Structure 1
Amino acid sequence: MFLLFNLDLHIDMFKRISLLILLFTATLANAQDGPWTLQKTIQYALENNIDIKQNVLNERLAALQLQQSKLSQLPNASINTDVGRSYGRSVDPTTNLFINQGYSFFGLNGNVDVLLFGWFQKRSTIAQNNLLNKAATADLDQLKDDVSLNVATAFLRILMTKEQITIQEGQLLYSNKQKDQTKSFVESGRSPDLDLAQMEAQVATDSSAYYTAIANYQQAILDMKAIMNFDIAAPFDVIAPQVEDLPLNEISSVNPEDVYLSAQNHFGSVKSSQLKLDAAKKGLDVNKGALYPQLSATGQFGTNYASTLKELTSANITGSQPNGDFISVNNQVVPVLTPTYDYLTRTTPFGSQFSNNFRHTYALTLSVPLFNGWNTRTAISRSKIDIASKNYALESTKLKLKQDVYKAYYDAKVSVQKYYASKKADEASERAYNYAQQRYELGLMNAVELLTTQNNSLKAKSEALSAKYDMVFKLKVIDYYLGKEIKL
């Protein structure tokens, strides 16, 4: 009796939980802008996926690197200035003589340097960064394609788990109905108590499977939200398309080699590997250019001001005085007189000093590398190794792509056949279960045989459902390699 009470309570809880799930699903559908289609889901993921956002930053960095390499062709120009006061013994910047007095100073200097010829190092660097920028774009395109496929996979998983809930719910209702029927048989003496116990055990098993299906559906929703970078707490529901309407015969007209050639032409991973190989070759040209002389033009200018530089403002003769020299006049020795002055001075004005002290220089510079510890030679050797590595990476990418394409092709063909076989098995097991149900009601079959047939039918139905979505996914993989839009 206690077991029967627990089972009845369990069934009552199941009905309540089912009602809550239905109400919750309806609330979700009304709380958002309608259910999500596959195309809408993919578009949202392409705009919000974290990995895509990170790769967008990588693409921007590559673009900045390209822009900087282009700007490096412009001349290098700089202006330096200094202002201060000197104390103690120092060199007067206006006379280049040592003085023992303090003075104020101000200087301005400029320099312009232009590379005239450097064995095309800058041009090779620009070409290398341009290729790396395109490789970053190709990597981003590949990631978007991968995310689209992952979204489609998660979308199909949601549909499958959603249908699995429906199957398990129907199975549970059937089990409850059979339990009630068996109970009446036991009470009337047509069946032993063992049959009722087995039916109650089946109800418990089907209840567990039902809640497991709900958990799988919720996990599929969480996985989809993680790919989309969607708010975990926000409602989310999908529109189930008519999967049965897919053209299943197209796979028979597709050749795997043609699929591979199509994928090789548009796959971002192959483009990126080829572009990185070409960039490595340009890097070798850059390092080779460092072996040869470089010619550059230089222009410099400068001027300065110092408070020690004075200029005369006025002068008046105030008298004379002997200067120590003598001359003979009419056979008489007469001392030589020098006039004395009274004069005023001032510090030469700032503008005058800057104008008078201005100087400029122009030069051509030829830089010839002689020896730098084999750094350039080592860089060239490393570039050659990098080219070989990038070449192997390209071959490996193509080989893996070809393997994946052929595997996807054969998997798709097998999945179609498996789908048809599982569909027939489901139909046959459904008929067998219906016959078994009728025989059980007539008392021609015991509960164990009925449950065995029922479980076989449920297994066939689940396998048919899994085969259907497995086939759909693998057909979408072929579309992915062909460069078609992934849609249902």
Structure 2
Amino acid sequence: MKQYMLILLSLLISVPFGIQAQEKPTQWTLKGCLDYALEHNIQVKKSKIALEETKVDTKTAKAQLFPSLTASVTQGLVNYPSNEVATHTSYSGNYTLNANLKLFDGGKRTTAIKQQQLQTQMQELGIEQSEDDIEIAITQTYLQVLYAYEAVRINENTAEVSTAQRDRSAELLKAGSISRTDMAQMESQLSTDKYQLVVAQTNLENYKLQLKQLLELNINEEIFLQIPQLSSEDVLSPLPDKQTVYQTSLSVMPQIKSSRMNISIAELEKKKAKAGYLPSLSLNAGLGTGHLSGTDYSFGSQMWNKFNQSIGVTLSIPIFSNRENKSAVEKAQLAYESSQLDFLNAEKELLKTVEGVYLDAISSQNQYTSAIERLKSVEESYKLTEEQFYLGMKNTLELLTEKTNLLTAQQEVLQSKYMSILSIQLLNFYQKKPIDINY
């Protein structure tokens, strides 16, 4: 009996410590999501691998400046069936070592090195572009989750109010102050509000799932957000000058840098194509020897007697190349003109994006200000209508209409609030300022 009491006592003592030892779930901030995604995103990792590939290509291009060295061994049998000798078959072997160094090729190799170096820089910008894409996607989805959280809270409050009104209406029905029709309308409104709450909760889970997938979390991992306390000052923070945002974005955004760099690559390609018209000069050197069976000389003597050294210079002058050089120059010129158009298009697309975000920011802030004012008046009207309803001065339809107006006004404030926050963050993004929300 004493042993059982000790075991029970130890269990009672261990329970509180077990509860306290449970770790609290990680609460994700926007910055935490961005940092995690940039480190673990598969597309970003693939872009980094592509960068390493371009570095290898650059090393290959530089290696073309050095001489090449090849060795060859040839072994063969030769049959002489018509010879009146004891052995009709001879065995032969040839061994060579050749070196080649291109002295002049019109600058093709040095131009190719410059192109590869620019390609490496473009791939670095490609990594930045991949990071920017995931940054925008996570910011948008994160704010959608915050919006959904607040939408659930609003619908929960609405359902609670509907429950209280239903209960109060039941008392009024017993007292004979309202009809069964009014009571049925209250019941119907409560069912509608509960349904809307379920819809809001479903939307929240969908947005959380989207954020979880962007972060590439495991299937068993849950995601909990740290909810920031956003004030009207955050929503209505002063906007930077639109022209300043655009000019800054032209100098910092990777797609513009990449398009500008692509023009330089196309220009180098023109130079490399024109080099096809120029002669090339190569230096060749080699060592060789061989042997043949069926002779009066030994293997060693033949290897020494046939040992040879050679050196020479080869000058290649293009005279007629079936239009290959001319076509290469024409294609390079067209590619150069196309790269210039791509650059102009990238500038216009960026301008369109910045102007759209800036317009959204102004519009959202104005809508937020108007929605706040409207919400105040609708709340006052709803309170008066509810008081008058319980006094028998307003009917059920008038109360439910005011309640619907209140819910609509709350949702308008919520929508304009997060649209404004998103637009402000995007304006920061296009100036390469850090994206973050005050907590």
TM-score norm. by structure 2 comes to 0.90
Question: Is residue 406 of structure 1 aligned with residue 398 of structure 2?
Answer: no
Equivalent residue in structure 2 for 1:395, among 344, 355, 369: 344
Equivalent residue in structure 2 for 1:125, among 112, 118, 123: 112
Q: Distance in 1 between matches of 2:46 and 2:236?
A: 40
Q: Distance in 2 between matches of 1:114 and 1:349?
A: 33
RMSD: 2.2
Match of 1:277 in 2: 263
1:237-266 deviation digits (Å, cap 9, x = unpaired): 1111222275456534x2111111110010
Q: Is the 8 A contact 2:235 2:417 kept in 1?
A: no
Percent of residue pairs identical: 23
Q: What is the one-letter code of the residue matched to 2:308?
A: R
Counterparts of residues 151-190 of structure 1 (less than 5 Å): 151-190=138-177
Q: Is the 8 A contact 2:87 2:294 kept in 1?
A: no
SS at match of 2:125: helix
Match of 2:16 in 1: none
Q: What is the one-letter code of the residue matched to 2:270?
A: L
Deviation at 1:467, TM superposition (A): 1.1
1:76-132 deviation digits (Å, cap 9, x = unpaired): 2211112354444599xxxxxx99522333321121111101111101111112112
Q: Distance in 1 between matches of 2:24 and 2:319?
A: 72
Deviation at 1:51, TM superposition (A): 2.9
Counterparts of residues 102-251 of structure 1 (less than 5 Å): 102-244=89-231, 247=234, 250-251=237-238
Q: Distance in 2 between matches of 1:39 and 1:245?
A: 21
Deviation at 1:301, TM superposition (A): 1.6
CA spacing shift, 1:453–1:250, aligned 2, 3 Å: closer
Match of 2:57 in 1: 65
Moved more, 230-239 or 51-60: 51-60
Deviation at 1:349, TM superposition (A): 4.2
CA spacing shift, 1:447–1:245, aligned 2, 3 Å: closer
Match of 2:247 in 1: 261
The answer to which structure has the higher strand fraction is 1
Q: What is the one-letter code of the residue matched to 1:37?
A: T
SS at match of 1:191: coil
Q: What is the one-letter code of the residue matched to 1:453?
A: E
Unaligned 5+ runs, structure 1 = 1-26, 92-97, 312-347
Q: Distance in 2 between matches of 1:265 and 1:73?
A: 35
Q: Distance in 2 between matches of 1:61 and 1:90?
A: 59
Q: Is the 8 A contact 1:31 1:235 kept in 2?
A: no
TM-score norm. by structure 1 comes to 0.81
Q: What is the one-letter code of the residue matched to 1:163?
A: E
Q: What is the one-letter code of the residue matched to 1:158?
A: V
Equivalent residue in structure 2 for 1:77, among 69, 75, 79: 69
Counterparts of residues 373-388 of structure 1 (less than 5 Å): 373-388=322-337
Unaligned 5+ runs, structure 2 = 1-18
Match of 1:454 in 2: 403
Q: What is the one-letter code of the residue matched to 1:65?
A: D
Higher Cα Rg, which structure: 1
Question: Is residue 445 of structure 1 aligned with residue 394 of structure 2?
Answer: yes
The answer to which structure has the higher helix fraction is 2
CA spacing shift, 1:372–1:32, aligned 2, 3 Å: farther
Deviation at 1:358, TM superposition (A): 1.0
1:138-166 deviation digits (Å, cap 9, x = unpaired): 12212212211211111110011011111
**Structure 1 runs, 4 residues or longer, greater than 6 Å off:** none
Deviation at 1:229, TM superposition (A): 2.1
Match of 1:287 in 2: 273
